[in-house]
Structure 1
Amino acid sequence: MGPIIIGLAAVTVYWGSASAEEKADIEISSLNLAEKFAGEKGNQMMRAYLRGRVAEAMNRRSRRVEKLDTPEQIAAYQEELQRLFREAIDLDSFERGPLNPQVTGRLDRDGYSIENVMFESLPGFHVTGNLYLPAGEGPFPAILHPCGHTENGKAGDAYQRVNQLLARNGFAVLCYDPIGQGERKQLIDPKSGKGLKSGSGEHQILGVAPVLLGRGLASYMIWDGMRAIDFLQSRPEIDPHRIGCTGNSGGGNMTSFLMALDDRIQAAAPGCFMTTTRMKNESPGPGDPEQNLFGQTESGLDHPDFAILRAPKPTLILAATRDFVPIEGTWDAFRQAKRIYTKLGYPERVDLVEAPETHGFTQRLREGSVRFFARWLKGESIEVFEPEGGSVEKDLDLQCTPAGQVLAMAGERSMFDLNVEHLEALKKRRSERWTSLNADERRELVRKTIGLTGEVRSADREAGGGLLALSDSGGSFVREWLFSPEPEIGIPGVVSRVGQPKGPIPLFGSAVDLFCLDAKWDELQLPPHPMLKKAASTEGRDVMVINLRDSGFTKTKNWRFYGADAWIAYMLGDSYLAMRSRDLISVAKSLKATGDSPAIHLHAAGEFVPAALHAAALEPDLFEGVTLHGGLRSWETLMNSRNPIPEWHNAVHGVLKFYDLPDLVELIG
């Protein structure tokens, strides 16, 4: 695509692409900043900053929970957090339709049978599962079993074993495939008909688009679980009033969410998931997208709350001593829940089983969960020991679909289809609202949407030592800068000037070309960065290159997966886009506040284009022009994207309810 040039009253926006063949004419030298941001001082800046914000939020929550004393206070706390939880996943926008259940196969075993079943959680969006039914007459208590991250989903060895153990002890069990696993892969190789990514790999990809719609991957997974309870209650063999839920790892995550939201779950046993947000963010870090709720940390929704929100209903926390889920945090979560249950008069209804094992639904945890459900759903105190040996079914025998994948069925809809459909439902209302607003009202809507409310202050600034090279005809000058838009955040920058005459050196010339690049100064030299050529050869204009947070000198060292820190920001109700937009505005104000008050032309490439668009749209008087090289042109393009992960830093929760990136261009004028 050729360059897009949009003429505006006050500013010209040039949206083109940088040529890799262009060469810069000047050299940018490295001075003190390389030392200031060496090693962990740079690549851990954002981790330390976010860790501090998480600690503040969790401390606020702790003080609040400590004050909960009466049943009325606890009930008010539960009601508020459940409301925030539902809003974060946009749960009330989902509508129950016909389940259209199917039984596609049956296996008869000693003491129980297995039905291969399917139902639609949303129209044309099938959930595949295995329904274990005990021998004898019902109605039976039933256990919902969401799976962890096994590639074969419901057919995972440990999951089959706990299902069998429950069925032999008189429980029906519905174990179903999560989105992206088992028979519900969303990225299929057209040649082999098999999934292209692992379950976690799919979840990373599928987790971006729903955020832009004000939902999350968790929204769809939670809805699947709630519809699975609908399915269980529709079966005559099931007692609809005796429903339990258990799962491990990712299944422990879904169990925790479901038990906090759905009051039909009378007893719950989440495994190898519950700890505390503070400890989990330290190690192992945030989980897959479906584990991360918008604003949960800022609003004070911590892991113990998943049990507290259902108090005093029976809850058993399943844990492993040598788990990567911090066991110290698990005991802390248990203690917090125990205190609330005790204040309500039911201390015996929350308990913990710790197995001396590593991560997994291991035998001791399987046995402990069955004993727990027998007590609270059947009123029985029994000893449960899993028989030695035993076999599990072959994956093929548990298969529900004809070809092994739901997307091979005629008329099946994918997550991508659901995203596009929901986007279309939002667009008309979004367009009508945007059209009805004037420019100032639109800017206010943008600020509110990304959380950039209040005045953005001018960044504190510190000038480094300068390097000046003079000849008879003039010279070139280089100076490093350090901007601080807020405590603990440093934005390194370097200014270059050609044609510097002899005599006093002003801080800035009459104009500054301000570049946002993901490169350290030494990386700009060999080869010279192509974006700098034209600006660097223009006398009378300074060239400034800055590293917005988490780029260049401050780029976070990968420690979990790409974008892990952005998920922590998301759980704080923030976004990297908002933070980087604030950085740009703050730096521009700081430049304007110098005695030279230079005109600023903003340049951004790739990942930084959306932040530059927002900064210029919200504060057009700060910039004489904006040049955008490549980058994301519209959030709507991510609805069908099979590789949206590089744009995760530019995702904003619910933004497509209100505006899209092209809407910002007109505001720049």
Structure 2
Amino acid sequence: MQSTTGRLVHPDWFIMKIGFTRLLVLFLLFSTAVSADELSVLSEEQRASANYYQHLQSDAYELLATRKEGLSKLIDKEAIESYQRLLRTQFIEALGGFPEKTPLNPHIIKRTELKEYTIENVIFESQPNHHVTGNMYVPHGDGPFPVVVVSSGHSRTAKLADYNQRFGIRMATLGIASFVFDPIGQGERSQVVTPEVEPLFNGTTTEHFLIGTSSILVGRNTATYRIWDAMRAIDYVHTRDDIDTSKIGYTGCSGGGTLTSYIMALDPRVTCAAPACYLTTFRKLIETRGPQDSEQNIFGQIAFGMDHPDYVIMRAPRPTLITSTTGDYFDIKGAWENYRQAKRVYGVLGYPHQVDMVEVEGSHGVKPQSLATIGHWMQRWLLEKDANVAIRDFEDDLQESTVLNCTESGQVLSLKNERSVFDLNAELAKSLAAQRQETNGTLSDEALRTAIRKLAGIRNPSELPAPKMEEVGRIFKDGYHIDKLVLHTDSGIPLPGLTFHPKKPQDGAYVYLTDTGKTGDSEKNGPIEKLMNDNYAVVTIDLRGQGETGRGERDEILGDWKQFYLAYLMGKSLVGPRTEDALATGHFVANYDKPAGERREVHLVGVGQAGIVALHAAAMNPDLFTSVTIKDVPKSWTEIVGSQDLQGQLDSIVHGALRVYDLPDLVRLAGPEKVKFETSAE
């Protein structure tokens, strides 16, 4: 197995990495001693206010309401253009900027002549040795032709998927060329493959999330790479003599609708656009499905006021068709609200006819009527032809991979010297490390702490009020007892906790943090019991979003990714508030039942991604903790950012962290003599 920038990963590693099997075994052992219900702490009333995801929802709704109120100021062209410029600037900043343009080095691998059009298999480099594969559908006859660029949804087969082929065929039969390309993590562009050079994951979004985990650490996003590939696809069609580059359309469904929305907002070369089965409003999305795939969440966009309708508003008054289905999980009511907001802006600019919407009966996906309507829209604006477009199914025109693939193996990672997105992020991380070494060398420890707090969203420990503790029950066991407690901080979220008391505890105590919250590692003969055998009291807590404060939904590879990305959309991390929770717990343990001016020694343990939280807490307030033990945590983010082996890491990452600090910086700030890294025995 290659664990850094290599491409081959054994699937068994996923379970090993997150310790899922181990956690299951421990839970079964633990359940024989103490039931989960027996260790529940919060009252029904407290549970109603404890759900962190619901708190995040409320925060998002307030921000979205503020944005919507601001639309009333868009009363003239000057105000609208200022709004558009500001959002585009903030959008690109949130993406981490774009790479420099380098030679495309395009090649047409082969041509397939068909009755009404020719299919060309095209490959080019969006970045050096980072290849994009696609199919160019060229109508017969004399060019130059207008062109529609098509982004794929989340289909594993990407450009081979029937709906994507139908996009290309439909345009070509109307006399419009079309370029349908594979996005990263799909089609011939899987970023993690087996030794047989096959995609390791069945679901493409898993790759996207892991790419996102790597990208977020360097201040980028899965969307950064997908948008850049799309812009380079437009660059590619500009190189062709048979294309009229003044007439470029863009479309795509689902994830392709997402990318269409981004590109039409950011690239002025897109004459007309038709995003399908994506646009709604964040209010409706959060109320229903919640955040979606990695690239569909731009860092801080809800905080800086970029909602779904803004993808349309940012390109006003250029022609835009919102294509939706009645039963889509991207809520149809939100889609109509999107259209209403955009229509008003287009009207102020004097072009209300250049934005439209179609609602087609059915579930998520491109229906025959949707395809015909998109064809009509492209024909209207690219060919200046307002004729009806007939519904055709093109079933007999669909091609196999042997016709459409651009590589012999079916995967670009088999190409010599090919660089994956993980490789690109690793190169950036290396560059950022050099920059940090130069910059941080001139900073005092307190200045670096301030920079970390600002980025991660952690208040100065001196600003955190002392928590109030509420005792809610006691359970007696053989040789020890468990006290149930609730810590009340100024967050408004009651934090349920447990104190494991040996019969004769010494004065020093442990704060023990795990990814499963207050019950983690507390099975019979487990780590917490061993600490009690040494006569230490051990306090465990549900950090925000864990245990009784969580949604109760954790993906074994990605954790509670919806919770992470809802915070991310507002420019927040989970590390920030959880670090404050850890500091509050440490403060409580240090001062509980002690005379004023005296504190007990507090030893801090963090297991898994909670170890990252523990490390931040120790770095922010090193005087609070006597020792810090970090288990099953990487020693450096820089060392793992180029690895596909990022399962379980999402909860604990901070957007752009490697632009400011890495984990060794936290160790130094905490005091390297007190920090110990361990790996749990399998």
Fold agreement, TM-score > 0.5? yes
1:338–1:350 CA contact under 8 A, matched in 2: yes
Taking the aligned partners of 1:603 and 1:125, their CA distance within structure 2 comes to 42
Aligned residue for 1:269, secondary structure, equals: strand
Find the residue that maps to 1:240 and give its secondary structure.
Answer: strand
- Counterparts of 1:468 and 1:128 in 2: how far apart (Å)? 62
Q: Is contact 2:591–2:600 with CA below 8 Å preserved after alignment?
A: no
Over the aligned positions, Cα root-mean-square deviation in angstroms equals 2.9
Which of the residues 491, 495, 500 maps onto 1:491? 495
In the alignment, does 2:265 pair up with 1:268?
Answer: no
The equivalent position to 1:570 in structure 2, one of 563, 568, 579, is: 568
In the TM superposition, residue 365 of structure 1 has moved relative to its aligned partner by 0.9
1:433 is the counterpart of 2:439: yes
Give the equivalent residue in structure 2 for 1:621: 623
> Aligned with 1:646: secondary structure?
coil
1:372 maps to 2:377: yes
Question: Structure 1, residues 354-407: CA drift from partner, whole Å, max 9, x if none?
Answer: 100111111111111111112222222111013355421122101111222111
Letter in 1 for 2:465: S
CA deviation string 1:461-505 (max 9, x = no partner): 23214549799xxx966432211334442211222433469xxxx
Say whether residues 1:654 and 2:656 are aligned partners: yes
Q: Report the 3-state secondary structure (helix = DSSP H, G, I; strand = E; otherwise coil) of the residue aligned with 1:297.
A: coil
Residues 528 and 538, structure 2, Cα contact 8 Å, conserved in 1: no
**What are structure 2's unaligned runs of at least 5 residues?**
1-18, 672-682
Aligned-partner Cα distance in 2 for 1:77–1:630: 46
Q: How does 1:345-424 map to 2 (within 5 A)?
A: 345-387=350-392, 390-424=396-430
Residues 124-147 of structure 1, C-alpha deviation per residue, up to 9 Å, x if partnerless? 011000111112112111111011
Say whether the 8 Å CA contact 2:41–2:485 is kept in structure 1. Answer: no
Say which of 503, 507, 530 aligns to 1:533: 530
Cα distance, 1:39 vs structure 2:
12
Match of 2:513 in 1: 516
> Could you tell me how far 1:162 is from its partner in structure 2?
2.1
Q: Map 1:61-140 to 2 at 5 A.
A: 61-92=67-98, 94-140=99-145
Unaligned runs of 5+ in 1: 1-16, 502-508
**Which residue matches 2:665?**
663
Distance 1:457 1:28 in 2: 34
Query: Which of 316, 319, 325 is 1:320 aligned to?
Result: 325
Residue 598 and residue 225 in structure 1: after superposition, are their counterparts in 2 closer, same or farther (change >3 A)?
A: same
Deviations 1:143-199 (A, max 9, x none): 110111111111111111121111111111100001111111111221364554432
The residue number in structure 1 matching 2:258 is 253
Q: Is the 8 A contact 2:151 2:181 kept in 1?
A: yes
Structure 1 residues 135, 411: closer, same or farther in 2, change over 3 A? Answer: same
Distance in 1 of aligned mates of 2:35 and 2:171: 68
Residue type of the partner of 1:668? A
Counterparts of 1:618 and 1:447, CA distance in 2: 8
Is 1:631 aligned to 2:628, yes or no?
A: no
Q: Which of 455, 470, 474 lines up with 1:463 in the alignment? A: 470
- Further displaced range: 265-274 or 393-402: 393-402
Q: Which residue of 2 aligns with 1:10?
A: none
> Pairwise mapping of residues 41-60 of structure 1 onto structure 2 (< 5 A)?
41=47, 45-60=51-66
SS of residue matched to 1:548: coil
Distance 1:452-1:40 versus aligned 2 partners, 3 A rule:
closer
Query: Separation in 1 of the partners of 2:282 and 2:42?
Result: 31
> Which deviates more, 192-201 or 543-552?
192-201
Q: Which moved more, 1:415-424 or 1:299-308?
A: 415-424
Q: TM-score, normalised by structure 1?
A: 0.89
How far apart in 2 are the matches of 1:523 and 1:442? 32
> Cα offset for 1:595?
5.5
SS of the equivalent of 1:375 reads helix
Q: 2:537 aligns with which of 539, 542, 545?
A: 542
**Alignment: residue pair count:** 637
Checking the alignment, whether the CA contact within 8 Å between 1:189 and 1:196 is kept in structure 2 is: no
Give the TM-score normalised by structure 2.
Answer: 0.87
Q: Which residue of 2 aligns with 1:609?
A: 611
1:610 CA drift (Å): 0.8
Distance 2:476 2:116 in 1: 88
**Residue 10 of structure 2 corresponds to which residue in structure 1?**
none
Verify: 1:221 aligned to 2:223, yes or no: no
Q: Decide which moves more: 453-462 or 362-371.
A: 453-462
> Measured at CA, do residues 108 and 610 of structure 1 come closer, stay the same or move farther in structure 2, by a change above 3 Å?
same
Residue 30 to residue 126, structure 1, CA distance change in 2 (3 Å): closer
Which amino acid letter does the alignment assign opposite residue 440 of structure 1? E
Give the Cα–Cα distance (whole angstroms) in 1 for the partners of residues 228 and 97 of structure 2. Answer: 8
CA distance in 1, matches of 2:234, 2:565: 29
- Cα–Cα, structure 1 residues 617 and 334, in superposed 2: closer, same or farther, change >3 Å? same
Q: Is the 8 A contact 2:41 2:484 kept in 1?
A: no
Residue 580 of structure 1 corresponds to 578
AA of the residue aligned to 1:665: V
2:538 pairs with 1:558: no
> Aligned partners of 1:376 and 1:570: how far apart in 2?
37
Is 1:283 the counterpart of 2:279 in the alignment? Answer: no
Counterpart CA distance in 2 for 1:337 and 1:75 is 14
Aligned-pair distance for 1:528?
4.6
Q: 1:499 to 1:526 in 2, by over 3 A?
A: closer
Per-residue CA deviation, residues 446-475 of structure 1 (Å, 9 max, x unaligned), is: 11221224554225423214549799xxx9
1:505-558 CA-to-partner distances (Å, cap 9, x unmatched) read xxxx84332111345767766425323413x2345x532121212223334322
1:106-131 alpha-carbon deviations (Å, 9 max, x no partner)? 11122221111011000001100011
Confirm or deny: 8 A CA contact 1:576 1:649 kept in the other structure: yes
Letter of the aligned partner of 1:485 in structure 2? Answer: T
Structure 1 residues 582, 523: CA separation in 2 closer, same or farther (over 3 Å shift)?
closer
Q: Please tell me the residue identity of whatever aligns with 2:631.
A: H
Q: State the Cα deviation string for residues 380-435 of structure 1 (Å, max 9, x = none).
A: 21110133554211221011112221111222111221121111222211111111
1:47 maps to a residue whose letter is: Y
Q: CA deviation at 1:222?
A: 0.3
Counterparts of 1:103-252 in structure 2 under 5 Å?
Answer: 103-191=108-196, 193-252=198-257
SS at match of 1:260: helix
The correspondence for 1:294, drawn from 299, 320, 334, is 299
Structure 2 partner of 1:451:
457
CA distance in 2, matches of 1:95, 1:510: 59
Match of 1:640 among 605, 618, 642: 642
CA distance in 2, matches of 1:40, 1:351: 47
Mapped partners of 2:497, 2:634: distance in 1:
24
Deviation at 1:83, TM superposition (A): 0.6
